[in-house]
Amino acid sequence: MPTLSVFLDVPLAQKLEGSLLKTYKQDDCPKKIFLAYRVCMTTEGQPWVSSVVPKIRLQISQDPSLNYEYMPMMGMKSFMEASLKLLFGKYNQVIVENRVGGVHTVGDNGAFQLGAQFLKIWRKDSRIVYIISSKKESHGLVFQDMGFTVCEYSLWDSKQLCMDPNVLLDVAEQAPHGCIFVIGNIGDCKLTQSQWARLIASMKSKQIFPFFDIPYQGLSTGNLEEDTGFLQYFVSQDFEFFCSQSLSKIFGIYDEGVGVLVVVALNNQLLLCVLSQLMNLTQALWLNPPTRGARIITSILCNPALQGEWKQSLKELVENIMLIKEKVKEKLRLLGTPGSWDHITDQNGPQSYLGLNSQKVEYLVKKKHIYIPKNGRINFTCINAWNIDYITQSINEAVLSPEGSE
């Protein structure tokens, strides 16, 4: 008699992502272009890696003094210190007052996994999570799987073609007491002083717990301090918060998945209590974090010369992104493409919206073999000297074509 599998009732899960890339790979059109890679690309069409990283990789591989024992559950102490100084600045009050700490996680999603586990246990009255970002995030699935009620809001206004800070302000004023706010791209909203005051007042009065997402510090404005300056608003108002700090993209070590769950508390004693509970939770999740990515980053951040070289490579990447956006906007202007395209250069970072509706996006995918997500948010580092003319001409064609109309 054949043995019955215990997995007979397990269906194939619906694929959440990757179908666009799969379709692209199966396309045999010689002109096909993929504009939705998660990593930054070079002008040669290869994943960008900071020029200093290969040197450190080689140095680490040849260092006979390295100990390859398991790291502590919290991660490398030197790595944590360097990461926090990068995020807040060396002399920030939370560092001086010793009330900020972190846990080395497996990628940025690991930070949300760990943080959500903690909040599930220690904030039992907070069962509602608001995810407010410029795009659809994967964090909602993490909180949803842990029993939270998840509400998602986009900061991108597809009609006005800009980030709308009023989304964040309105949600804060309507949200229930004690809920959790997962906030991404808040720096792109460019809140005024009065808007900041309004937001802070709403969140304080309702005891809303912030959980920030910092996916690529320095790649937004080109300034490491400016990209995380908004954290100071919350520090100065005595907020306690979590923060997911992802470091893979800004060093170009995507396969390492280096992240940190940052904790800011009112004092050192409270911080130590939170970190001790997080350390217990890591035992069930991954026990010990991987070390190579942390070693690479620590070696760079703790050496002034190497850190300077890394910052320069990051600056050059951001300048290239800005240049690509300017060229795309100018080529669309010269083609006489209807509409204003200022929103392309008004947005920060490598991932930005083209401002095309779903019909125009579908036209580009099916007619021109240019693969972009349905929301029209592309990775501008995928555009280079070899494909920019075809891409802009295709956008112009899509906008003018009746098939690309609503």
* All domains of the chain in start order, with CATH: 19-50+307-404 (3.90.1150.10), 69-290 (3.40.640.10)
Whole-number Å distance between alpha carbons of 140 and 151:
8
Closest alpha carbon to 153 in 131, 172, 129: 131
In this predicted structure, what is the pLDDT of residue 74? 79
In this predicted structure, what is the pLDDT of residue 109? 87
In this predicted structure, what is the pLDDT of residue 403? 66
Token reading at 288 = 């010990």
pTM exceeding the 0.85 threshold for the entire prediction: yes
Q: What is the dihedral of CA 104, 110, 114, 120, to 10 degrees?
A: 160
Walk along the chain (406 residues) in steps of 10 and give the mean pLDDT of each run.
84 73 92 95 94 94 85 86 95 94 89 95 91 86 93 93 93 95 85 92 96 93 91 92 95 92 97 96 89 94 96 96 97 96 94 94 96 94 97 97 64
In this predicted structure, what is the pLDDT of residue 405? 53
Token reading at 269 = 């004693």
> Residue 137 corresponds to which amino acid?
E
Contact 210, 183 (CB under 8 A): yes
> Residue 39 corresponds to which amino acid?
V
Closest alpha carbon to 228 in 218, 238, 240: 218
Closest alpha carbon to 373 in 17, 28, 43, 134: 17
Token reading at 399 = 């906008």
In which residue are the tokens 């060093």 written?
Answer: 251
